[in-house]
Chain A
Amino acid sequence: MAIIERPVSLEVQPLIVVAPATPSSAMGAVKRPVVTKGWRQWVFTVDHKKLGLMYMATAMFFFLVGGIEAVLIRLQLALPDGKILNADLYNQMFTMHATTMVFLFVMPMAAGFANYFIPLQIGARDVAFPRINAFGFWALLFGGLFINLSWFLGGAADGGWFMYAPNSGPIFSPSHGVDFWTFGLQIAGIASLTGAINLIVTVLNMRAPGMKLMRMPIFTWMILVVQFLLAFAVPVITVALFLLSFQRNFGATFFDVAAGADPLLWQHLFWIFGHPEVYILILPSFGIISEVLPVFSRKPLFGYPFVVFSGAAIGFVGWGVWAHHMFASGLGPVSVAVFSISTMAIAVPTGVKIVNWTLTLWGGKLWFTTAMKFSIGLIVLFTIGGLSGVTHAVAPSDTQQTDTYYIVAHFHYVLFGGAVLGLFSGFYYWWPKMFGKMLNEKLGTWNFWFMVVGMNLTFGPMHILGLQGQPRRMYQWTENRAGEGFFNLGFWNLIASIGSLVLVVGVFLFLVNIYITARNGKVAPLDPWGARSLEWMTSNPPKEHNFDSIPTVHHLDEFFHRKYAEDANGQMQQVATAEQVLKQLEDNADAHIHMPSPSYWPIILAFGLPVTCLGLIYSIPLAIFGGLIILMGTFGWALEPSTAPDSDFDPPSSGDTSKDVVHVG
C-alpha cells in the first residue's frame, strides 16, 4: 500500500485508508508508483507483510515442484529395474529435488515467516530497509526460476546438491544445467545476504520501547541467529560458486585433479557454508514451535534463557563441525578427531532445547490443536533424526554410513520431521493472523496424520536400506541382488515409495484446507489461541502500519501480561480481553504515520541479475545489457528517498514527523 495519511480512527473496525500520495517530482527518472489496487500493489510493494506472503507463496510453489521431483524418484525406485526415469534424468531429478527443497522451499518459507512476523513481534511498523526487503524477495524468485529454467534449456544440474568435483565439471556434466545452478544459487545468495542484513538491523534497531533482547519472543531470537549464520555463510558459498563458474566458463582448473588441484577445496568451501546452512534450515522451525508450545500448554516457555542461549550456542558451534561431512575423504586422524568431538558437542545445546520443550508441556493444560500436533510431531521426529545424527559423529561408523540411504534417512528426519513440520505448525498457528480466517481443524488433523504416517513410511525404511548398503543416488536396483527375508531391499523400497504417496495426500489435504478456508472458512476471532506475544496485539490481518500506537513493552510475553495479572493468591487472573487491549492501543493512536513508499527499483534491479547471468552463459552482449539494467536500477534506487517527501502527501503533511517511522533504506 502506498503512503498512509489518515485521520485517526477510534473504532475497532478496520480503519479507512485515505488519499495516497501524489508524487510531485520525479526522483531520478520516473515518479514513484502510487497504485494501491490490483497487481501493482504487490509488484511494487515494500510492505513487509505483503512481501512475507509473497515469499510464502513462492516457497509453497517450489515445495510442490520439489515434491513432484521426489515422487518421481520414489516411483523410479519402487520396483526393480525402474523405467520411469533414465539414469541422466534421475541424476537431474535428485539434484534439483534437494536444491529446490533446501534453497527454494525451506529457506524462503522461513524468510516469509520472518518477514511477516519479526516486525510484528518486536513492535515495529516495518523493517529497517523496506526496499532491500523487496529486492531480496524478487532476487529469490528470479533466482529460483532461473535454476529451473535449465529443465527447458538442455537439462538441469545433475551433480548432486553438493556438486562435488569431478561431477560438476564439463566432462561429467556437459549440459548448461550446472551453470544455471551456479548462477541461480548466486542470485538466491544475494537475496539471502541482503535479507540477512535487513533482518539483523531490524531486530537490533527497530524494537519497540522496552523490548529488550531478553524480552524478545523466541521466534525472533532464532531468526536473529539464523540471519547471522546466513550473513556469514553465504559469502563462503559465493566464493565456491565463483570458482566453479570460472572453471566451467573461463578455463580455470580449481577442482581439476589432473591439473594438480585439490578437489577437497570445494568440499571445504561447500561445507563451511553447508553446515551452518543446516541450522539455517532448522532453527526457524525451532523458533516457531517455541511460540506454539507455550500457547497451547497454557504455560510460559520453560527456561526461556536456556532456549535463547542454546540457540546462540548452536549457531556458534555450527561453524566448527563442517568437516564431519568429509570423514570419508581422508582428512587425516587429527582433523577427524577434532571434528568428531565438536559434532558430538553440538548435540548438547540441541538436547537442551528438547528438554525445555518437553518441560513446557509438563503439567500444562494441553490443547491439541493442529498447530500443537505438528509441534509435538517435530519434537518426536526431530529427536529420532538427531539421534541418527549422533551416530554420524562417530567417525568409524560414519565411514560405513557415508553415501548410503542411512544418511538420506537421517537428514529427512531432521528436515521433514524437523523443519517442515515446524513450518506447518506455523501455518496453522498464524493463519488467522495472516488471513483473518481459521484453517479447518478437522481437516488439519487429517493433514497432520497423513504427513506423519507418510513421512515415517517413506524415511523410516531408509535406515534399513542404508545399513544394508543401498547407495544413495542409485538409479535402479535389481531383484537378484536385493537380498532375502526381512532385509529384502525390494520390500522396503516399495514401502518407502508407498509412504511418499501417503505424504502427497497429506500435502494435498493442506491445499484443500487452504481452498476451503478461503471459500468459507470461519472468521478468526481477535485472539483465537489465547496468545502471548505482540503480533497478536493488532487486528487480523494486521493493519498496514501494524500498530496504531507503538506499545511499550514491560514483560516477556507482553500480550499475555496485558490480559492477565496476578491476584492476591499469586494466581494469574484475566484482567482484560484482547479486544480491550487493542482498544487501548487504538485510543492512543499516533496522529501521523508515514509508511515507506512503494518503489519500482527493487524489482528492476533484481531482474537485471538473471538477465546478466543468462548472458554469461549464452552471449556476452546480453550480459552487458543485464549489467546496464542493474546500473540503472542502482542509480534510480540511490536517487529515490525511501519515504516520500512531505509535499507528496495529500493533503501535504505538516512536516511534523516526530512520531513517524523513518527509513533510510
Chain B
Amino acid sequence: MWFTLDNLATAHDTHEGAAHSSTGLSNVKLGMWLFLGTECLLFGGLISTYMLYRGRVGTGPRPSQVFDIPFTSVSSFVLLMSSLTMVLAVSAAHKRDDRSTNLWLVITALLGTTFVGGQVYEFTAFYNEGMGFSTSLFSSSFFVLTGFHGVHVTVGIIMLLALRGMLKNNKVPGSRSETVEMIGLYWHFVDIVWIIIFTLIYLIPA
C-alpha cells in the first residue's frame, strides 16, 4: 500500500498546491472506505455468532421451520435493486442532474423501506410461530444479526431522505455529488452484507 501512496505523493510534489491532500484522494472517501472495512469485522462477528448457534434451538422452532424462503427472496431482490437505483442517483449527481438525483434517492429510500417493512413482517410472523428473542440461542443470534442489519438499513433510509431534503434546500455543505456518493457507498455496503446473510443464513440449512 505504501508504495502506491508514495508514488502519488511524489506526483504531488511536482505540482505543489495543485492538490490539498498527499494522495490526491478525498479525506471523506478514504474515511468512508476505512469505516466500511471496520464494519466487516462487526458483521463478521455477528455472522460467526449466528453460525455457531444456528443449530441450538432448544425447545423452539428450527430455522427450516420458520424461514419463508420465497418471501425473503423477494425482499432480498428488492434490496438488490435498491443498489441499482442508488448507483443511478450517484451517476445523476455526478452529471449535476438534480431532478434525477432526487428521484432516484426517493426510489432507493422507498425500496429500502419496503425491505425493512418486510423484515418487520417476518419478525412478527416468527414471533407468532413461537420464536421470540430469547426462545433459543438460534433465535437470539438470528434476531441480533438481522436486527443490526435492519438498523443499518434504517439509518441509510434516514440519510437518504435527509440528503434529499438538504439537496432540495441547497443546504449540503461541501460537494453535493460526493455526499451522494458517500451515502451510496454506505447503502451498497448494507446490500452486500445482505447478500452474505441471504446465502449463509437463509439458503444454507443448519
Binding site for B on A (CB under 8 A): 27-28, 128-129, 193, 197-198, 200-201, 204-207, 209-214, 231-236, 238-240, 242-243, 246, 250-254, 259-262, 265, 269, 552, 635, 638-642, 658-659, 661-665
Contacts and interface: CB of A to CB of B under 8 A. Distances in A.
A640 B173 contact: yes
A231 B37 contact: yes
A261 B56 contact: yes
A46 B33 CA distance: 23
Contact of A193 (B5, B38, B49): B38
A18 to B, nearest CB: 25
A200 B144 contact: no
Pick the most buried of A204, A240, A658: most chain B CB atoms within 10 A of its CB.
Answer: A204
B125 interface: no
Contacts of B133: 250-252
A209 B16 contact: yes
Given A212-B10, A259-B58, A232 B37 contact: yes
Given A262-B52, A552-B16, A204 B173 contact: no
Contact of A250 (B30, B53, B58, B134): B134
Nearest to A202: B27
Contacts of B5: 204, 213
Nearest to B140: A252
Interface string B33-73: 01101110110011001001100101000000000000000
B205 interface: no
Nearest to B6: A212
19 contacts: A28-B171, A200-B34, A205-B21, A207-B9, A232-B38, A233-B41, A236-B42, A252-B134, A253-B134, A253-B140, A254-B141, A259-B137, A262-B52, A639-B171, A639-B173, A641-B174, A642-B173, A661-B20, A664-B26
Interface string B14-33: 00110011110111101100
B28 A664 contact: yes
A246 B140 contact: yes
Contacts of A659: 17
B97 interface: no
A201 B34 contact: yes
Contacts of B42: 235-236, 238-239
B13 interface: yes
B45 A269 contact: yes
Pairs of residues from A and B, 4 with the lowest C-beta to C-beta distance, nearest first: A239-B45, A251-B134, A641-B173, A252-B140
B174 A213 contact: no
Contacts of A658: 17
Contacts of A641: 173-174
Contact of A260 (B16, B26, B56, B148): B56
Contacts of B27: 128-129, 201, 205, 663-665
B20 A197 contact: no
A491 B23 CA distance: 60
B12 interface: yes
Given A201-B31, A252-B134, A640-B173, 17 more contacts: A128-B27, A197-B31, A197-B38, A205-B23, A205-B27, A207-B22, A209-B12, A209-B16, A212-B10, A214-B2, A231-B34, A235-B42, A239-B49, A243-B49, A259-B137, A262-B52, A639-B171
Give the interface centre of A260, A659, A664 by most chain B CB atoms within 10 Å.
A664
A236 B45 CA distance: 6
A206 to B, nearest CB: 7
B192 interface: no
A318 to B, nearest CB: 14
B22 A197 contact: no
B162 interface: yes
B166 interface: yes
A628 to B, nearest CB: 13
A639 B58 CA distance: 50
